[in-house]
């Protein structure tokens, strides 16, 4: 089968389409014919080996995980002997960040790592949902404890978490502000953000406006700066960003909570936990993933270049016939 392989850490130029052996499912796995996969920040981090965390996961000097791709949607082709929830022909999607390998024609997945996709969801839409969607649900609902009609801000709002998160927040009647770079703001207004802020010209923590809930996809400020923009009794929830700032949020968050009555929290992703909820929202016409360009598998390098440039709006998706 064809797969996009890399053997050295580096930029998108490290990715090449190669012929590799088709995987065989273990007893508790299914073999998926991948019809679409989306790119996440984690794919880029594993490609570049930019952090000690990613190198500890995949190899200090060379990547052991040589086929990236966690978010996939496709058709079950074969099932392992112990699989009970799926049969060949099922249309499924999920986040395979425990095993990777989605930038390929076929991938094996544990049956616990996937769910049936809503029949009306395209494969491209389904592939756009798992990781960013789970981060958004868990930041807003599980950790953020969103309540009706709150004032909410998403930082880094023009990517996967923000564009899916907006649609979930709107189910709660929220007034939603999105912060990102200037070229994404028209798209963000068009999909329903009530207010937009260009982070390169305006610091949302210095506007004097405070929010009930902030969801941050790109934490780059101190826990004290972020707390300035949270109402008393409100919450700040980060899903990712600069590691020193995340560590600071982890360590000093409880101090801010005690002193200022504002909860400062970090999401630890529970992959695939809420895919059924996403199916329900989609079926009810309340969720529509925002897709940037889609690229055929052979052009995965170009797809990764677009993602790495930061210019993507919503999700970048790779497709397979």
Ligand X SMILES: NC(=O)c1ccc[n+]([C@@H]2O[C@H](COP(=O)([O-])OP(=O)(O)OC[C@H]3O[C@@H](n4cnc5c(N)ncnc54)[C@H](OP(=O)(O)O)[C@@H]3O)[C@@H](O)[C@H]2O)c1
- Binding ligand X (rule: CB under 6 A), the pick from 9, 42, 193, 295 is 42
Closest approach, Cβ 321 to ligand X, in A, equals 26
Q: Enumerate residues 6+ apart whose C-beta is below 8 A from 163.
A: 157, 188, 191, 289, 290, 313, 314, 315
Token pair 């995340």 in the structure block, residue: 246
Residue 180 β-bridge partners: 198
CB neighbours of residue 279 within 10 Å: 21
Closest approach, Cβ 294 to ligand X, in A, equals 15
Q: Given the complex with ligand X, which of 242 and 283 has the nearer CB atom?
A: 242
56 binds ligand X (CB under 6 A): no
Q: Given the complex with ligand X, which of 133 and 234 has the nearer CB atom?
A: 133
State the residue number with the nearest CB to ligand X: 159
Q: How far apart are CA 139 and CA 312, in angstroms?
A: 22
Closest approach, Cβ 316 to ligand X, in A, equals 8
Part of the chain binding ligand X (CB under 6 A), chosen from 29-37, 113-121, 156-164, 279-287: 156-164
222 binds ligand X (CB under 6 A): no
DSSP-based three-state secondary structure for 141? helix
Q: How far apart are CA 84 and CA 62, in angstroms?
A: 37
Q: And the tokens for 154? A: 């998403």
Q: Given the complex with ligand X, which of 72 and 83 has the nearer CB atom?
A: 72
Q: Given the complex with ligand X, which of 159 and 253 has the nearer CB atom?
A: 159
156 binds ligand X (CB under 6 A): yes
180 binds ligand X (CB under 6 A): yes
Closest approach, Cβ 232 to ligand X, in A, equals 24
217 binds ligand X (CB under 6 A): yes
DSSP assignment, residue 173?
T
12 binds ligand X (CB under 6 A): no
Q: Given the complex with ligand X, which of 190 and 258 has the nearer CB atom?
A: 190
Closest approach, Cβ 84 to ligand X, in A, equals 28
Q: Give me the sign of the Cα torsion angle 154, 156, 157, 162.
A: negative
Residue 94 β-bridge partners: 72
Token pair 């649900």 in the structure block, residue: 137
- Binding ligand X (rule: CB under 6 A), the pick from 239, 275, 297, 303 is 239
268 binds ligand X (CB under 6 A): yes
- Binding ligand X (rule: CB under 6 A), the pick from 121, 169, 179, 290 is 179
How many helices and strands (H and E) does the chain possess? 10, 15
Closest approach, Cβ 220 to ligand X, in A, equals 4
Residue 4 β-bridge partners: 17
Q: How far apart are the first and last CA of the chain?
A: 13
125-157 core/surface letters (b: 16 or more CB in 10 A; e: else): bbbbbbbbbbbbbbbbbbbbebeeebbbbbbbb
Part of the chain binding ligand X (CB under 6 A), chosen from 16-24, 71-79, 225-233, 265-273: 265-273
Which CA distances in Å does 19 have to 16, 22, 140, 144, 272?
10, 9, 42, 45, 29
- Binding ligand X (rule: CB under 6 A), the pick from 158, 178, 234, 253 is 158
132 binds ligand X (CB under 6 A): yes
Q: Map the footprint of ligand X across residues 60-89, applying CB under 6 A.
A: none
Residues lying near ligand X in the complex (CB under 6 A) are found at 40-42, 131-132, 135, 155-156, 158-162, 179-181, 184, 199, 217-218, 220, 239-241, 267-269, 310
């Amino acid at each position: 089968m064809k797969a996009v392989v890399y053997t050295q850490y580096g930029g998108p130029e490290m990715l090449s389409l190669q012929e590799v052996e088709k995987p065989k499912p273990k007893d508790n796995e299914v073999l998926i014919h991948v019809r679409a996969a989306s790119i996440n920040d984690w794919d880029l981090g594993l490609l570049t080996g930019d952090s000690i965390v990613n190198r500890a996961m995949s190899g200090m000097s060379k990547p052991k995980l040589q086929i990236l791709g966690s978010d996939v949607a496709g058709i079950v082709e074969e099932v392992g002997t112990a699989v009970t929830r799926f049969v060949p022909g099922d249309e499924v999607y999920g986040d395979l960040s425990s095993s990777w390998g989605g930038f390929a024609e076929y991938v094996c997945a544990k049956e616990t790592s996937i769910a049936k996709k809503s029949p009306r969801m395209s494969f491209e839409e389904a592939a756009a949902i798992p990781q960013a969607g789970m981060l958004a649900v868990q930041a807003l609902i599980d950790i953020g404890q969103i309540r009706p009609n709150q004032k909410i801000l998403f930082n880094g709002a023009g990517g996967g978490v923000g564009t899916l998160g907006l649609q979930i927040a709107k189910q709660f009647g929220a007034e939603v502000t999105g912060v990102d770079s200037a070229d994404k703001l028209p798209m963000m207004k068009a999909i329903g953000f009530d207010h937009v802020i260009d982070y390169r010209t305006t610091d949302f923590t210095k506007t004097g406006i405070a929010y009930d809930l902030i969801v941050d996809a790109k934490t780059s400020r101190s826990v004290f700066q972020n707390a300035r923009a949270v109402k008393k009794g409100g919450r700040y929830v980060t899903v990712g960003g600069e590691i020193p700032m995340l560590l600071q949020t982890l360590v000093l968050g409880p101090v801010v909570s005690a002193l200022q009555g504002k909860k400062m929290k970090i999401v630890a992703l529970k992959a695939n936990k809420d895919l059924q909820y996403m199916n329900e929202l989609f079926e009810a016409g309340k969720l529509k993933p925002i897709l940037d360009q889609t690229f055929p598998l052979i052009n995965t390098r170009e797809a990764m270049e677009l993602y790495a440039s930061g210019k993507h709006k919503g999700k970048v998706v790779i497709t397979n016939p």
